[in-house]
Structure 1
Amino acid sequence: MSVSPFHAGELAIQQRVGVREQMAGAGSAGVRDYMPDQHRQFFGELPLFFIGALDGAGQPWATMLVNDAGFISTPDARTLRVDGGMLAGDPLQGQLCMGAHIGGLGLVPTTRRRNRVNGVIAAMDGGRMEVAVTQSFGNCPQYIQDRVQTPVPSVPTPQVLRADALSAQDRELIARADTFFIASANLETEAGRGVDVSHRGGRPGFVRIDDERTLTSPEFVGNFFFNTMGNLLAHPRAGLLFIDFERGDMLHVAVEAEIIWEGAQLRAFAGAEQLLRFHVREVVRNVGALPFRWSAPKPAAQVARTGIWEEADRVLEAAALTSAWRPYTVAEVVRESATVQSFYLEPADGMAVAAHVPGQFISLRAPAGGEAAPRIRSYTLSDAPNGRRYRISVKRDGAVSGWLHDHLAPGARVELLGPGGDFVFEQGTRRPAVLLSAGIGITPMIAMLNGLLVNGSRTRHRHAIHFFHGARNRDEHAFSAHLQAMAEGHRNLNVHIRYSGADGEGSDIANWQSSSGRIDIDWLKAQLPFDDYDFYLCGPAAFMQQMYDGLRGLNVADARIRFEAFGPASVRRDAKPAATAATAAIGAGATAAATAALHAGPPVPVQFAQSGMTAMWDGSADSLLALAEAKGVPAESSCRSGQCGACAVGLVAGEVEYTRACAADIAPGQVLLCSAVPAAGSAAVTLAL
């Protein structure tokens, strides 16, 4: 099209989620003011056609037209002809007229193919109407359930039920629905002016019946056009269509819609980007009207990673249990490499998993090495949340990880605490990202990738993602096949693997490379085009420090380097960390507000008894561990490598306060350096270091 196909509402939402610039290019190119030949052929073969239009009062309605294949035709590329198809009792019956805007959607469930066409009614003759096309574009097959339709011999005279609220039968249909259609309109501006009808799909239970007059539904990742939500910004009325595929009913619901951008319910619903809440205005149920029945569905692959409201409600309940140990059952064990196994863990107490953000970790308590007392280790959750179970991926490296590898088979029980942690991807950033890892440090990076890159081709981060990982050899490279599949499906992902102990080989995938050698700062400089990046680092301590120091030497701002360390010590920063949770170092989990409150007051002298050194606590360090490291005092710390509690030391004198809860059970008289700071009002602190 010669002008942007997007109106002000669509542009506003694209701007809010950070995709406006990208959609101005690739997005606009996909919208035409004519129908391509393949769309014209597609429409001509349909026995069903979905439309959205307004009634005389300006209320949008979504409905389905039904007739013999060929009732949709295209005399030319800019004209769509519809010969009948509207069923008796339809809320749009008698409402369509010349000059009215109409949105059309052709959809074939068995192939999951769909194409859209919007326009204005240019002519009407009895049951025939001709639509002058203003917009035509294809849609991807996401969330469409595969169903086979079968004609019924005869259809009785339908019964039309009208009400201003949902009946018990209506609510039952919506509760088991895996599909609905939504009509919305933009009549406020000339650009993009018109009516739209869109498809929504999910697992049965993805639409919640709050009460007889209220529904709530998630919005999953789509094509970033934001046709529906953009319309709702200025014109919040919408029309919903639910189909009873078994009985042939059509349930039309006229609603007032609101967009929910944040909140606990949104965070608890797996896969949801926003929520739409619908307030019912009118209900029309056309009982048994459809001349088709459909087979049981084959669910779309994308819905497996999305939630339902029953799970979301249980996730909300579980959020209150993150500070308590809970039993979990091993549901599945998958070998990821010669040294790494993934364990899928499901709650054994009848509750749900608590929500987490990719990059966070849980703590695990299990017996190990024949010891009487259980040992506690912390492991990164290596997958994006799905609302049903957790995944941890553990490298065999020590007594505890060896015990997990040898004893955790399906059906085994462990106890978990959490999730928690601050090493997460910055929401809303519009800079390209560099995910840089080595060894088992790949686990939070995989979780972040799985959260950002979804459904085989969609991305929540429409800027470049550079994924660099160092492994000893191919046998020890966890998630190799998964990374290659992601690279094949996502053009904004660029992967480069370095093998230190084997020859690197090329790849047939354009955005996947491998080579021999180690990752160092000179090699990294040679791989990255000039740009302003956000860096995410995870790996052994020496690797982390080398990368951090190298990036700072290149004048990368300290606040742009976020990291999680796997090894005996956290990374020493050369600048005070920025006041954001995402930039916290290993073991430092305090929020800026919490630490600010503890930093108030005069400096506190901290004496390290064994080292004979004294340092002043003035709030410039995140924790006593960071203070010790800044002064060169040796202090053990390996929280994220699975040894929560390793930083415990004796408190000789003074008082401390904690900036967050930790999993370790420590002996009386000890403190955890990674999360402790001098207590407010404390005169001095002495540590046995």
Structure 2
Amino acid sequence: MESFGQRAIRPYIPEQHREFYQQLPFIVAGSVNQQGWPWASMLSGYPGFITSPDSTTLTINASAITGDMYYRISVKREANGTISKCLHDNVRVGDVIEAKAPSGNFYIDAAEKRPAVLIGAGVGITPMIAMTSHILNEAERTRHLRPLTILHAAKTTQQRTFTQNFQDAEIKSNGKIRYYSIITQPSKQEKIGIDFNAIDHITADTLRQILALDDYDFYLCGPPAFMQALYDEIRSLGVRDARIFAEAFGPAALIRQIDNESMLLEAIKLLEAENEADEAVIKFVKSGFEQRWNANDVTLLETAENHGLTPNFSCCNGICGTSAVRLLKGSITYRT
């Protein structure tokens, strides 16, 4: 993120709030600097964070459409959700909330010529519309449009969002972007080919029917079980693990099947993890705190917390990037 914007928490002012559908209303929030640009740049697809009034941190999916001077967040209303109820029932236009600069590795390269397949379910469709918009915007700027196939999984058509946006993208791209709505529980009045494209769960057979024989990058986002099942289906088609990108919320993470060419790198990482220093001194510059660390002690995050420091964190698995800080001196080993 250092090349795109600072890691910081700054106030955000909601400018608009409207419902796209009952299960997933959507808030548009924005804040710009003196030059009229967002306070922190982000690549489409990065997750972001919001701090709530009761000091509980909620991980959300914030999707910036590159070039727009606002960010979008999608927060599903949960009956017993303290933060979701606060956002939907209490936050009004003009209220100030706090947002942490986005971070992560889930984004799409618009310059890549290899076609991409975006597959989303539930709130997981949010980064896909951001990626799609980014591809379109970059196509206008560079005259290169990366081919996209978007598979949108939902139980019913009422639980879909961004459908019109994706259909508009199909038209604007002259067919280089394709959108498929796949429903598992359509109503009796709805017709295949008109209201949606297919009735089923997305499987390897679904992908065979939709995708031409080619080399694709796959981007997955949705509930953990959905992503794991789909990852396994994609791998069964012979797609390499390195071609599958996924966004996991919280501690949820894919159980990946490592490719043969990646096994050597994994072995090297394992050896590095086994070569932890016998002892070291940890120093946090801003607080002036120092602590002697011994082999097999707890992680840096836990060390900081055990001594009264309160660094930002979320997943505790090294996935979300919330706790990332700059290394001033020395070297570190990442425990997998």
TM bucket by the smaller chain?
0.7 to 0.9
Query: What are the ranges of 5 or more consecutive residues in structure 1 without an aligned counterpart?
Result: 1-263, 268-318, 368-372, 580-591, 606-651, 659-664
Which of 199, 202, 219 pairs up with 1:519?
Answer: 202
After TM superposition, give the deviation of residue 458 of structure 1 in Å: 8.4
Q: Indicate conservation of the 8 Å contact 1:361/1:419, yes or no.
A: yes
Q: How far apart, CA to CA, are the structure 2 residues paired with 1:553 and 1:562?
A: 16
Q: Which has the higher helix share?
A: 2
Does 2:20 align with 1:339?
A: no
Q: Classify the secondary structure of the residue corresponding to 1:343.
A: strand
Q: Indicate conservation of the 8 Å contact 2:32/2:39, yes or no.
A: no
Aligned to 1:534: 217
CA-to-aligned-CA distance 1:381-404 (integer Å, 9 cap, x gap): 224133522111222133322221
Q: How far apart, CA to CA, are the structure 2 residues paired with 1:578 and 1:341?
A: 44
**Equivalence map 1:120-519=2 (5 Å):** 319=5, 322-347=6-31, 352-367=38-53, 373-386=54-67, 388-397=69-78, 398-454=81-137, 461-490=144-173, 491-503=175-187, 505-507=191-193, 514-519=197-202
CA-to-aligned-CA distance 1:556-608 (integer Å, 9 cap, x gap): 011111111247621111117999xxxxxxxxxxxx9xx99987746169xxx
Q: Classify the secondary structure of the residue corresponding to 1:475.
A: helix
Residues 576 and 404 (structure 1), Cα distance of their counterparts in 2 relative to 1, 3 Å cut: farther
Larger CA deviation: 518-527 vs 555-564: 518-527
Q: Classify the secondary structure of the residue corresponding to 1:674.
A: coil
Q: How far apart, CA to CA, are the structure 1 residues paired with 2:46 and 2:134?
A: 12
Q: Indicate conservation of the 8 Å contact 1:339/1:395, yes or no.
A: yes
Q: How far apart, CA to CA, are the structure 1 residues paired with 2:315 and 2:184?
A: 39
After TM superposition, give the deviation of residue 502 of structure 1 in Å: 1.4
After TM superposition, give the deviation of residue 667 of structure 1 in Å: 8.7
CA-to-aligned-CA distance 1:206-236 (integer Å, 9 cap, x gap): xxxxxxxxxxxxxxxxxxxxxxxxxxxxxxx
After TM superposition, give the deviation of residue 348 of structure 1 in Å: 8.1
Q: How far apart, CA to CA, are the structure 1 residues paired with 2:139 and 2:193?
A: 20
Q: How far apart, CA to CA, are the structure 2 residues paired with 1:335 and 1:566?
A: 23
The one-letter code of the counterpart of 1:437 is G
Q: How far apart, CA to CA, are the structure 2 residues paired with 1:333 and 1:349?
A: 22
Q: Indicate conservation of the 8 Å contact 2:135/2:146, yes or no.
A: no
Q: Indicate conservation of the 8 Å contact 2:59/2:249, yes or no.
A: no
Residues 501 and 453 (structure 1), Cα distance of their counterparts in 2 relative to 1, 3 Å cut: same
The one-letter code of the counterpart of 2:297 is G
Aligned to 2:248: 565
Of structures 1 and 2, the one scoring higher in RCO (CA 8 A, sep 6+) is: 2
Does 2:295 align with 1:656?
A: no
Q: How far apart, CA to CA, are the structure 1 residues paired with 2:145 and 2:311?
A: 48
Residues 404 and 577 (structure 1), Cα distance of their counterparts in 2 relative to 1, 3 Å cut: farther
Q: How far apart, CA to CA, are the structure 1 residues paired with 2:15 and 2:64?
A: 15
Aligned to 1:575: 258
Q: Classify the secondary structure of the residue corresponding to 1:354.
A: coil
Q: How far apart, CA to CA, are the structure 2 residues paired with 1:597 and 1:347?
A: 44
CA RMSD of aligned residues (A): 3.9
Residues 383 and 667 (structure 1), Cα distance of their counterparts in 2 relative to 1, 3 Å cut: closer
Q: How far apart, CA to CA, are the structure 1 residues paired with 2:219 and 2:68?
A: 25
Q: Indicate conservation of the 8 Å contact 1:336/1:342, yes or no.
A: yes
The one-letter code of the counterpart of 2:31 is P
Aligned to 2:317: 673
Q: Radius of gyration: which is bigger?
A: 1
Q: How far apart, CA to CA, are the structure 2 residues paired with 1:577 and 1:380?
A: 33
Q: Indicate conservation of the 8 Å contact 1:396/1:405, yes or no.
A: yes
State the identity as a percent: 29
After TM superposition, give the deviation of residue 433 of structure 1 in Å: 1.0
Larger CA deviation: 493-502 vs 565-574: 565-574
Q: How far apart, CA to CA, are the structure 2 residues paired with 1:596 and 1:418?
A: 34
After TM superposition, give the deviation of residue 376 of structure 1 in Å: 0.9
CA-to-aligned-CA distance 1:503-549 (integer Å, 9 cap, x gap): 453456xxx95222222222222221211111111111011001111
Q: How far apart, CA to CA, are the structure 1 residues paired with 2:260 and 2:103?
A: 19
The one-letter code of the counterpart of 2:167 is Q
Q: How far apart, CA to CA, are the structure 1 residues paired with 2:30 and 2:332?
A: 44
The one-letter code of the counterpart of 1:529 is A
After TM superposition, give the deviation of residue 468 of structure 1 in Å: 0.3
Q: Classify the secondary structure of the residue corresponding to 1:423.
A: coil
Residues 506 and 390 (structure 1), Cα distance of their counterparts in 2 relative to 1, 3 Å cut: same
The one-letter code of the counterpart of 2:72 is R
TM-score, with length taken from structure 2: 0.73
Q: Indicate conservation of the 8 Å contact 1:495/1:513, yes or no.
A: no
Q: Indicate conservation of the 8 Å contact 1:327/1:349, yes or no.
A: no
Residues 387 and 499 (structure 1), Cα distance of their counterparts in 2 relative to 1, 3 Å cut: closer
Q: How far apart, CA to CA, are the structure 1 residues paired with 2:9 and 2:261?
A: 32
After TM superposition, give the deviation of residue 406 of structure 1 in Å: 1.3
Q: How far apart, CA to CA, are the structure 2 residues paired with 1:525 and 1:550?
A: 11
The one-letter code of the counterpart of 1:541 is P
Q: Indicate conservation of the 8 Å contact 1:538/1:566, yes or no.
A: no
After TM superposition, give the deviation of residue 478 of structure 1 in Å: 0.9
Residues 568 and 502 (structure 1), Cα distance of their counterparts in 2 relative to 1, 3 Å cut: farther
Q: Indicate conservation of the 8 Å contact 2:183/2:196, yes or no.
A: no
Q: How far apart, CA to CA, are the structure 2 residues paired with 1:452 and 1:577?
A: 32
The one-letter code of the counterpart of 1:673 is N
Does 2:287 align with 1:603?
A: no
Q: How far apart, CA to CA, are the structure 2 residues paired with 1:596 and 1:473?
A: 45
Residues 521 and 403 (structure 1), Cα distance of their counterparts in 2 relative to 1, 3 Å cut: farther
CA-to-aligned-CA distance 1:381-439 (integer Å, 9 cap, x gap): 22413352211122213332222111222112110111211101134321111111111
Q: Classify the secondary structure of the residue corresponding to 2:102.
A: strand
